[in-house]
Amino acid sequence: MSERILGVLGGMGPLASAQFMLRLTLLTPAQRDQDHIPAVLWSDPRIPDRTAGRLGKGPDPLPWLLRGIHGLLEAGCGAIAIPCNTAHGWFGPMAEAAGVPILHIVDAAAADLQRMGITGGTIGLMGTAATLEMRLYQDRLETQGWHCIEPDPDQMQRLVTPAIASVKANRVAEAYHPLAEVVNSLAARGADAVVLGCTEIPLAIQSGPASELAVPVVDTIDALARSAIAWARGQ
């Protein structure tokens, strides 16, 4: 029985954090309830939009993020997972306020690439405009030997950004085709794998056929769940 309680700062979006809880459960080896990982999910969809905040077009989400972290600490959580890539733009101040480990989603994605046997080469990177602009992935992955390529600005505006908004509005299936088109375009430009670096993207990609994708994808929800399970088991 795990004595470690996982904190999950979620609601960004709420479907992604619910899916994180589902995958955390299904990826945990368990025979009965008591073998699973105790967790508290703070699902606060009122947190101001991270992309708008970062691009100077909306209020700062940091006070809301810190409020969630405070709530998770009050509940006794020993580590925090945040199933929202863009929120990692505020990783520094959150980690400082938390005083317990925050499991970084980019490190989780890198571990998943290694697990898949993709130890170098070119990686396609999909995410919100803010995640790409902040270079959340590029800087961490490039020092570890991967080369990152991104969708072009037209693809971001026409395909990726509207598809992310569709998932947040519960219109998941219609987001598959635009996102699959971008995966395959990155593959055509030389990507050996594509990191789905916004937690709305894997929800949409899973709603359609995997067989239409030209290269393997890293599901950052699953990657973060694996990282959380490793923490809970003391690994």
β-pairing verdict for 121-126 and 217-219: unpaired
Site for a second copy in 175-234 (CB under 8 A): none
Should residue 143 be labelled a site residue for a second copy when binding is judged by CB under 8 A? no
Q: Where are the alpha helices (DSSP H) in 169-219?
A: 176-188, 200-206
- What x-and-dash track marks residues 16-55 binding a second copy by CB under 8 A? -xxx-xx-xxx-x-xxxxxxxxxxxxxxxxxxxx------
Q: Residue 200 and residue 220: Cα distance in Å, rounded?
A: 10
Residue closer to a second copy, measured from CB, 31 or 211: 31
Reported as half-sphere exposure (CB side, CA atoms, 13 A), residue 85 has a value of 33
Residue closer to a second copy, measured from CB, 35 or 96: 35
Q: Give how many residues touch a second copy by CB under 8 A.
A: 43
Q: Residue 139 and residue 87: Cα distance in Å, rounded?
A: 16
- What x-and-dash track marks residues 66-105 binding a second copy by CB under 8 A? -----x--xx------------------------------
Q: Residue 94 and residue 69: Cα distance in Å, rounded?
A: 8
Helix (H, G, I), strand (E, B) or coil at 144: coil
Should residue 12 be labelled a site residue for a second copy when binding is judged by CB under 8 A? yes
Catalytic residue flag (residue 84): yes
Q: Residue 218 and residue 221: Cα distance in Å, rounded?
A: 9
Q: Residue 206 and residue 219: Cα distance in Å, rounded?
A: 9
Stretch that binds a second copy, among 12-20, 131-139, 145-153, 205-213 (CB under 8 A): 12-20
Catalytic residue flag (residue 77): no
Contact by Cβ (8 Å): 199, 220 = yes
Active-site residue (options: 16, 24, 65, 84): 84
Active-site residue (options: 106, 118, 183, 198): 198
Residue closer to a second copy, measured from CB, 185 or 199: 199
Q: Which residues bind a second copy (CB under 8 A)?
A: 1-2, 11-15, 17-19, 21-22, 24-26, 28, 30-49, 71, 74-75, 165, 168-170
Q: Which residues are catalytically annotated?
A: 84, 198
